[in-house]
Amino acid sequence: MLFGLALPRLVKSIVILDSTAGRFRLQPIARSPRPIRGVAALRHHAFEVGSCYTDPRDLRTDRFRRLSLNSDEISRHVATTADLVGINIEPEWMPNVVRFFEIARGMAADVIGSGALTDAESAAVFTPRTTE
């Protein structure tokens, strides 16, 4: 189990307590994307996918662990959820479904790492209509 404690930004590092190994270690924090101020900033702005995983917010909310299921755990999730929603998946097709789910999980890790879960208004998915 990992626990994280963010130190002041000046330190630019994070203390990781690895309870299973029973030791502390220091790990650099990848800088979060800076606010965009004009296109000039964009030209020099290369935000690498994956830098989000050392964002303290991810450690606080335990997102990192949840997105790090192994293949067996994913297979169990897929089988359980398939039962729940009433979909029959033949054993021979399970590896393919798990493969596609793994791809989606990687995509979700990228998106959730943006902090969008808490910071942004959702795009509209419903538009009320007038009734006459």
Partner 1 sequence: MKGNVPASAAAIADAVRSGASSAVEVAEAALDAIAANDGAVGAFTTVTADRALRDARAIDLKRRNGEQVGPLAGVPYAVKDLFDIEGVVTVAGSKINQARPPAERDAILIERMTTAGAVLLGGVKMGEFAYDFTGENAHYGPSRNPLDASRMSGGSSGGSAAAVAAGFVPLSLGSDTNGSIRVPSSFCGLYGLKPTYGRLPRTRTFPFCDSLDHLGPFARNVADLALCYDALQGFDEGDAACVSRPAAAVSTELAKGLDGLRVAVAGGYFRRDAEPQALAAVDRAAHAAGAREEIDIPDVARARAAAFLITNAEGSALHLDNLRQRAADLDPDTRDRFRAGAMLPASWYIAAQRFRRKFEETMQKIFEEFDVILAPSTPMSAPLLGQKTMLLGGREVSLRPNIGIFTQPISFIGLPVAAVPVREAGQMPFGVQVIASPWREDLCLRVAAVVEAAGLSLPTPLAT
State the residues that interact with partner 1 by CB under 8 A.
Answer: 33, 36, 38-39, 42-47, 49, 77-78, 81-82, 85-89, 93, 96-101, 103-104, 106-108, 110-114, 116-117, 119-123, 125, 127, 129
Our CB check for partner 1 shows the closer of 28 and 50 to be: 50
Q: Residue 121 CB, nearest distance to partner 1 (Å)? A: 5
Our CB check for partner 1 shows the closer of 27 and 96 to be: 96
Three-state SS for 11-54 is CCEEEEEECCCCEEEEEECCCCCCCCCHHHHHHCCCCCCCHHHH
Instruction: Show Cβ contacts of residue 24 under 8 Å, excluding neighbours closer than 6 positions.
Output: 15, 16, 17, 18
Our CB check for partner 1 shows the closer of 5 and 49 to be: 49
